Amino acid sequence: MGDRIEIATLDGAAAMPAYRAMPEGSPKGAIVVIQEIFGINAGIREKADRWATLGYLAIAPDLFWRMEPGVELDPDVPAEMERAFDFYKRFDLDAAMRDVEATIKAARGDAEKVGVVGYCLGGLIAYLAATRTDADASVGYYGGGIDTKLSEAHAIGKPLMLHFAGDDHFIDAAARAAIGDGLGSNSRVTIHDYAGVDHGFAATSGSRRVDDAARLADGRTEAFFAEHIG
């Protein structure tokens, strides 16, 4: 279903690799799928493919391309998890946000409305897409670090949905409470908590996935984008 494309950076000086999944017929909208710290691996490609089956153009930009293009890591392999954290430590978030903005711009060539959905690192980026880009709607899954970026919340102008794991060992209760306090009064923001599950519960496969919680969260996300993207 998918293919590999290149997207021009905002300054036009380089091309960023990305995975694209096309729907049958004209897309009813576009979804930008933002990776975890594991690159554009099979799980992220599966996420993009799923959106295409629902009638959306889906694009997953390779946000590690500035360090090493084509990274694909498995979180269930300890050595690959360590490598993922190394990429995370070297990650340039502001440059990545410009790359997300470039991806949204490219997607608008084929779709009137564009949504952003991200996981883990991508969950933080999805939140920042709501504060820094013209995305029409955004969804973040277990985005670590959102509590450190609440000063940007005033810029949220479009619908935002956030999913959090109740037993997340990366995002503790204090951070989740701060996010709730910081965003709870914003009518554009919807926050869902999932008791008894840990970070990564909505992975497509592997040891992190918790099927019931993943299906519930993904169903809410699909309904959210159906309402706000098409």
Beta carbons of 225 and 56 less than 8 angstroms apart: yes
In the set 62, 136, 168, 218, the catalytic residue is 168
Torsion of CA 39, 148, 95, 1, to 10 degrees: 30
In the set 120, 163, 218, 228, the catalytic residue is 120
In the set 62, 199, 218, 228, the catalytic residue is 199
Pairwise CA distance, residues 189 & 202, whole Å? 20
Beta carbons of 115 and 32 less than 8 angstroms apart: yes
Assess whether 120 carries a catalytic annotation: yes
Helix (H, G, I), strand (E, B) or coil at 2: strand
Q: Which helix (H) or strand (E) holds 102?
A: helix 93-107
Which residues, 6 or more positions from 44, have their beta carbon under 8 angstroms from its beta carbon?
A: 19, 33, 35, 36, 38, 60, 119
Q: Which residues are catalytic?
A: 120, 168, 199
